[in-house]
Amino acid sequence: MSPDDADSPASNEGGTVELRMREALRDAMTEEMRRDEDVFVMGEDVAVFQGAFKVTEGLLDEFGEKRVRDTPISENTIVGVGVGAAMAGLRPVVELMTVNFSLLALDQIINHAAAIPYMFNGNVRVPMVIRMPGGGGHQLGPTHSHSFEALYLQIPGLLVACPSTPADAKTLLKAAIRDENPVIFVEHESLYGIKGEVPEGEDVIQRFGEAAVRREGTDVTIVGILKMAHVAERAAEELESEHGISAEVIDPRTLRPLDLDTILESVKKTNRAVIVEEGWPHGGVGANLSTLITEQAFDYLDAPVQRVTGADVHMPYSRRMEQAAMPHEENVIEAVLAATDGAIGPKGGD
């Protein structure tokens, strides 16, 4: 924290304000840019256009062209410029217009941003944030609907955030900007408009590696990320009211580091786990987590870990087909019922 902090006006410290997720993200960047001159934002259409999803709205007006920079469409180079700038002491916040386009920047993300600190034995650091919105549900077809949390989760050296609420979006992004490591900050396009109470106060941050228990329960643990954290919560409500099943819902908030302890403690209590994600099934977030649970809490499990994922296809365009390829509450409920197999609820003991 900078020495200036003491002089900063504390705005309604301890209070909250209702914001949409895109506003919460914008506020995180605005506050961090006010706090630290070395923080700047760059990406395709982030300045004059104010962001493809309007997340950077107003930043150009307040901070000017030096600190809010429109870039050419050159993803690998945008990330690489961020890496170089970070190595020389700046703190870039790079926006890749979508997760889909981050594929063009994989060399800079993996071979450079993630590898450099280790490869050069800690003699240089890469404190940068790479924001990327993704996910399906907008009929954008196979090239514009990806979920790549699992891909980034695999890379040592990266941190991976996947916020599901406006509060987490703001406080995690602030933490990400202050962190010394390269951070992949995954946002879900469908969540930009959701509203939520967001804590005020410049120094309120959410540390990486602390899961949120969204709902307490005793019969099954449901882990969901991004939009699927909400799907999991709604499914849990229906499980309670329709099936008499008490589900605990956990949102890991960050996948690297992963708060495995909170998940394992829950599973040891409920003896059942269901993992919900939008991405592909093979080598996915759920595949990884279910292995970890099986390795470390096998004796506590009363049923195999269930995974609810997106379909193992490229996202189709047709509304009907697209919805068929994405997980919904019904799929979560079905998975929970499979895990409990009639052992719990009104039909329990039959």
Partner 1 sequence: MARIPDRQICLDLLGRMCLIRRFEEEAGRQYQRAKAGGFLHLAIGEEATIVGTTSVMRDDDFLIGTYRTHGHALARGTPADEVMAELFGKETGTSGGRGGSMHIFDAERRFMGGYGIVGGNLPLAAGLGLASQYKGEDSVTVCMFGDGASNTGNFGETMNLAALWELPVVFLVENNLYGMGTAIERHSAVTDLSRKAEGYGIEGERIDGMDVLEVRERVGAHLEEVREKGRPSLVEAFTYRYRGHSAADPEVYRDKSEVEEWQQKDPIETFIKACLDDGVLNDDDVESARREADETVEAAVKFADESPEPALESLYEELYVVSETMGWYAVDERSPEPHRGELGEDAPDVAKNLAESGAAHAAEEQERQSREGVRD
In whole angstroms, give the CA distance from residue 320 to residue 304: 31
Write phi, then psi, for 108 (nearest 5 degrees). Answer: -70, -35
Minimal distance, residue 90 CB to partner 1, in Å: 5
Minimal distance, residue 19 CB to partner 1, in Å: 21
Query: At 120, is the secondary structure helix, strand, or coil?
Result: coil
Instruction: Mark 284-303 with x for binding to partner 1 (rule: CB under 8 A) and - for no binding.
Output: --------x--xx-------
In whole angstroms, give the CA distance from residue 175 to residue 240: 35
Minimal distance, residue 92 CB to partner 1, in Å: 8
Say which residue the tokens 């930009």 belong to.
192
User: Per CB under 8 A, which region of 63-71, 132-140, 193-201, 323-331 contacts partner 1?
Assistant: 63-71
Q: Which pair of tokens denotes residue 36?
A: 């630290």
Minimal distance, residue 47 CB to partner 1, in Å: 13
In whole angstroms, give the CA distance from residue 227 to residue 233: 10
In whole angstroms, give the CA distance from residue 225 to residue 221: 13
Say which residue the tokens 């994922």 belong to.
309
In single-letter form, the type of residue at position 326 comes to M
Q: Which pair of tokens denotes residue 275?
A: 């993992």
Minimal distance, residue 211 CB to partner 1, in Å: 10
DSSP secondary structure string for all residues of 61-107: HHHHHHHEEE--S-HHHHHHHHHHHHHTT-EEEEE-S-GGGGGGGHI
In single-letter form, the type of residue at position 87 comes to M
Active-site pick, 144, 146, 230, 243: 144
75 counts as catalytic = yes
Tell which one of 34, 54, 125, 215 touches partner 1 (CB under 8 A): 125
* 259 forms part of the interface with partner 1 (CB under 8 A): yes
144 counts as catalytic = yes
Tell which one of 3, 9, 14, 72 touches partner 1 (CB under 8 A): 72
Neighbouring CB atoms inside 10 A of 48's CB total 9
Tell which one of 149, 168, 179, 248 touches partner 1 (CB under 8 A): 179
* 117 forms part of the interface with partner 1 (CB under 8 A): yes
* 252 forms part of the interface with partner 1 (CB under 8 A): no
DSSP secondary structure string for all residues of 236-268: HHHHHHHH---EEEEE-SEEETB-HHHHHHHHH
Which of 161, 337 has the CB closer to partner 1? Answer: 161
Tell which one of 14, 88, 282, 299 touches partner 1 (CB under 8 A): 88
In whole angstroms, give the CA distance from residue 62 to residue 68: 9
* 77 forms part of the interface with partner 1 (CB under 8 A): yes
Active-site pick, 75, 187, 200, 277: 75
Minimal distance, residue 295 CB to partner 1, in Å: 6
* 173 forms part of the interface with partner 1 (CB under 8 A): no
* 256 forms part of the interface with partner 1 (CB under 8 A): yes
Residues in contact with partner 1, counted by CB under 8 A, come to a total of 59
* 159 forms part of the interface with partner 1 (CB under 8 A): yes
* 205 forms part of the interface with partner 1 (CB under 8 A): yes
Which of 124, 313 has the CB closer to partner 1? Answer: 124
**Contact, 96 vs 144, CB < 8 A?**
no
DSSP secondary structure string for all residues of 178-203: HSSS-EEEEEEGGGTT-EEEEE-STT
**Contact, 205 vs 242, CB < 8 A?**
no
Which of 76, 218 has the CB closer to partner 1? Answer: 76
Bridge partner residues of 20 (DSSP): 195
Which of 39, 315 has the CB closer to partner 1? Answer: 39
Q: Could you list the residues that contact partner 1 (CB under 8 A)? A: 1, 40, 66, 69, 71-72, 74, 76-90, 92, 107-108, 111-112, 116-125, 156-157, 159, 175-176, 178-181, 205, 207-209, 256-261, 292, 295-296
Question: Catalytic positions, please?
Answer: 75, 144
